[in-house]
A and B are shown apart, each in its own frame.
Chain A
Amino acid sequence: MSKKQKKDLIRLAVQIFFLALIILISFNHFRSEQGLAPLLIGAPSLHAVCPFGGVVTIYTYFTEGTFIQKIHQSSYTLMWLVLALTLLFGPVFCGWVCPFGTVEEFIGKIGKKIFKKNYNHFVPSIIDKPLRYIRYVILILVVVNTAISGKLLFANFDPYFALFNIWSSEVTRLSLLVLGLVLIGSLFVERPWCKYLCPLGALLGIFNLFRIVKLKRNEKTCINCKACDRVCPMNINVSTSKVVSDHQCISCLLCTDEITCPVNNTLNFTVLEKKNSRENSEKDSKGKNKESISGGKK
């Protein structure tokens, strides 16, 4: 395993941790309903630990001071914490924390083995681009209708709730259908729910336009190998941007020179502008000289 591949293990470890945590919470909730004591941690409902619950209840909270049905204070608090994290680094929640995104990604690894280079390139660009705005329509519809009804309508077709609460009678047939389609779709398209339908992803994606830590590409040192474009799960054209502010970026860091980009100091998250330009240009040229050899082989 190369040094760069090893570094992605940090994100993998975080993803596995949150996936395991949600499975344990769901299992404990099931035990609690059977009258059994929870293991290791408490037994909150899945709604209580989903930040999107905070988003859908925000109108009711500001106008009536209450949370909508089934939503608890924890969801509301989580929403603000996730928004703070997103303001800094973009949708880290999507790329690192969300257990449903992790499941999609894991299924996607099977798809990659089956379809190899064709994987994640089945949807023609002309259809793909407009489809990616559907999640904003869903976000608006869910927030407005929840504000009007005061009920958690999204749960009726939420595949995340269906997957991790599959034992519950609360899971609707519609959400099971959506879940099935998303899981099958993940074999062909990387993170189809995140790309096209997730309303929380839509909200967090907006933060890419003004996140504090920006994903920057150094045009001077870039060898235009397009490795960043190929590795991006969200099909973003990283190699043509100076600052990546695409609303679909999930801050997974896969494209950065820490993991994929072969030229040091060319593509990474940076919080402050480099001040010592002379020093940097020296570093850059060294990096370019070093990497252009391997780049040339590609």
Chain B
Amino acid sequence: MKIKSIHILLAIIIIIGGGILLASQLGLYNTTKAKSPLKTAEGVYDIADIRGSHTLEEIEKYYQVPASSIIESFGLKPDSNPSIFKLKDLGEIYKPVELEGKEYIVETDTVRVFVSLYLKKPYISDETFYLPERTVNYLIENNKLTGEEKDYWLTHTFKLEYLENDSLSASETPEKIEEAVEETIEDKVAEEIEEFKVTGQTIIQELLDSGITEENFEEITGFKVPEDKSILVKDFAADKGIEFKEIKDKFAE
């Protein structure tokens, strides 16, 4: 049988087009990642799937590690907003450190190791072999480390330094840390709140945290706040047949 252009066209339509349609029906064609992390074979959320886009609140929700413990152990401002603060934001707070000849940035993987030690659940990192001194001290004070772990981590620490204040080290006195953290984190969080705007990536919880009340939400959208507040405002609008841009502008007002 001779194959012509028209046959190739049909094959593309059937295999690529039909394949995508079929995969979508079977739930095998997701173009975005679900907000919730993957689960391990034991049915618990996988520490390796902690992402930079996860907020402190989500870490608390999925892993039962209180946001306050991350705030304290990483020297963040005590009233940091857990529903806004994302793990990737850590990278914008601390100076990168030079460890064994490589630059290390305190960010998502540092939190993965912290969560692993806090929960006493295994997680093998291929980039985090040192932790901030303050974080290790926090884990020891809260009896989260075994003797062997304590021996290792006490010899694998570094001092946290903030990007916006070169002279200050996070491992200095708590008073000084608090002052420094207030200077850096407060500005950051205030900036975040001040600059808060609804985008395609905003979830309903973030909207409520920004000061929109449930009544306002209902007034603007014509629908009650859904039980699952982790869905995107954009998806909610699409689901209810509302023009996203319209409600976005109203929320901004």
Beta-carbon contact of B16 and A97 below 8 Å: yes
| Chain A to chain B contacts (Cβ below 8 Å), 10 pairs | A14-B12, A45-B31, A64-B48, A66-B38, A73-B30, A96-B12, A259-B5, A265-B2, A268-B3, A272-B1
Instruction: Out of B3, B126, B198, B243, name the residue touching A35 (CB < 8 Å).
Output: B198
List residues of B whose CB falls within 8 A of some A CB: 1-6, 8-9, 11-12, 15-16, 19-20, 23, 28-33, 38, 46, 48-49, 126, 197-202, 234, 237-238, 243-245, 248
Given contact pairs A66-B38, A73-B28, A268-B3, A36 touches B244 in the complex (Cβ within 8 A): yes
Task: Please give the distance in Å from B110's CB to the nearest CB on chain A.
Answer: 16
B200: chain A residues within 8 A (beta carbon): 31-36, 43
Given contact pairs A43-B200, A268-B2, A32 touches B234 in the complex (Cβ within 8 A): yes
Beta-carbon contact of B8 and A89 below 8 Å: yes
Task: Please give the distance in Å from B112's CB to the nearest CB on chain A.
Answer: 12
A268: chain B residues within 8 A (beta carbon): 2-4
Other than A45-B31, A81-B20, give 8 A-B pairs with Cβ distance below 8 A.
A10-B8, A14-B12, A72-B31, A77-B19, A92-B8, A92-B12, A258-B5, A270-B3
Task: Please give the distance in Å from A262's CB to the nearest CB on chain B.
Answer: 16
Interface residues on A, range: 35 or more
List residues of A whose CB falls within 8 A of some B CB: 7-8, 10-11, 14, 31-37, 42-45, 48-49, 64-66, 72-74, 77-78, 80-82, 84-85, 88-89, 92, 96-97, 150, 213, 251, 253, 258-259, 265, 268-272
Given contact pairs A74-B31, A213-B3, A36 touches B245 in the complex (Cβ within 8 A): yes
Beta-carbon contact of A37 and B234 below 8 Å: yes
Beta-carbon contact of B2 and A35 below 8 Å: no
Given contact pairs A66-B48, A270-B2, A85 touches B31 in the complex (Cβ within 8 A): no
Q: Which residue, of B1, B8, B200, has the highest number of chain A Cβ atoms within 10 A?
A: B8
Task: Please give the distance in Å from B12's CB to the nearest CB on chain A.
Answer: 6
Beta-carbon contact of A35 and B245 below 8 Å: yes
A88: chain B residues within 8 A (beta carbon): 11, 15
A82 to B17, CA, bound (A): 11
Beta-carbon contact of A89 and B244 below 8 Å: no
A138 to B114, CA, bound (A): 36
Q: Give the nearest-CB partner of A8 in chain B.
A: B5
Instruction: Out of B3, B9, B23, name the residue touching A10 (CB < 8 Å).
Output: B9
Given contact pairs A8-B5, A88-B11, A270-B3, A72 touches B33 in the complex (Cβ within 8 A): yes
Beta-carbon contact of A251 and B8 below 8 Å: yes
Q: Give the nearest-CB partner of A12 in chain B.
A: B5
B29: chain A residues within 8 A (beta carbon): 73-74, 77
A270: chain B residues within 8 A (beta carbon): 1-3
Given contact pairs A34-B199, A73-B28, A97 touches B38 in the complex (Cβ within 8 A): no
Task: Please give the distance in Å from A25's CB to the nearest CB on chain B.
Answer: 9
